[in-house]
Amino acid sequence: MVPNVNTTPVTGRRGVYWQTGLCLLLLAGAGWLLRRHWPTVQHGALRLAAADQGWLLVAALAALGTWVSSALAQQGAVVRRLPGGRLVAAQFAASAANHLLPAGLGSGAVNLRFLMRCGLPAGRGASALAVKAAAGAVARLVLIAALAPVWPGLLRIPHVPAAVPLAVTAAAALLAVLVRARLWARCRGAVAAVSADIRDLHARPVRAAALWGGSVAFAGLHALVLIAVTRAVGLPLSPARVALLYLAASGAAALLPTPGGLGSLDAALALALTASGTPAAAAASAVLGYRLLTMWLPFLPGLVVLGVLIRRRAL
């Protein structure tokens, strides 16, 4: 009799290997771009060093607010009341962990462990993370839809032949038919659990308000960081224009699984700013300032908080 061998861990490891390989490839490409455009980056860093300190303080306060809004959205995704201080600390630690692993794996692992420590089963914790992620994506799309009419034509979609979307649709339909029998049985339970959690949350107005308010505030505060940095370095761009460029660029960068968007988000933001008429050196200074406040400066303190939470068995 052949023993029943569980191949799920092997499959999971293969997925991690593929993600890690793609991540390393993307990081190598980002390093090559950085080396090629180093004079522009250096000029941007010098411009950032002479930036308006008042606007940089506004950007720093907005960056601090992103972790509070993330905690608010996470509380909104859970019916059970979570400890507020530890919840904010977990979001801060999760942002640091997110810079170590691709595709949000670090942030997801930290938040899942925190929810489990708060008494949620693993399945419920994963469902809460899925609800929060879905709300964040919807909130970003709503903000883009609200800002796009202010700057018509700013987000130009390139023209593609009609045969291309038809071919993509046909291929997607064929793939769905092929994998439905295998994957639907596994996904059906997860989809049902997430749907049930969404119904339970929206039956409680306070939780629904926290989920959607925190999700909108998270995206809006990140946009505010970039807006304040552009003001600090003297870029003549309106706040609505910068916010729309940020939302579009960060949405595109989310498709690439680099840790914390390293390389992908930097390139997308720089490309969006330069495409709107910003000089390359000025765009580099704005991107450097944004990443400094949202990634590099909080990184080591975030790791310290992560270590403290693990030591205190909060994770």
Which tens digit of pLDDT belongs to each residue from 134-149?
999 999 999 999 998 8
CA angle 92, 219, 103 (to 5 degrees): 60
Residue 4 has pLDDT above 60, yes or no: no
The number of C-alpha atoms within 13 Å of 160 and in the hemisphere containing its C-beta is 10
Which residue type is seen at 249?
Answer: A
**pLDDT (0 to 100) of residue 158:** 45
Q: Would the pLDDT of 229 be above 80?
A: yes
Task: Choose between 227 and 263: higher pLDDT.
Answer: 227
Asked which of 46-55, 79-88, 133-142 is least confident by mean pLDDT, the reply is: 46-55
Question: How much is the pLDDT for 159?
Answer: 47
What is the pTM (predicted TM-score) of this model? 0.78
pLDDT beyond 80 at 242: yes
Residue 50 CB partners (closer than 8 Å, separation 6+): none
11-44 residue pLDDT tens: 445 544 544 554 555 456 555 555 554 455 555 5
| Lookup: tokens for 65 | 């607010």
Give the Cα separation of 132 and 224 in Å (integer).
21
- Amino acid in position 14: R
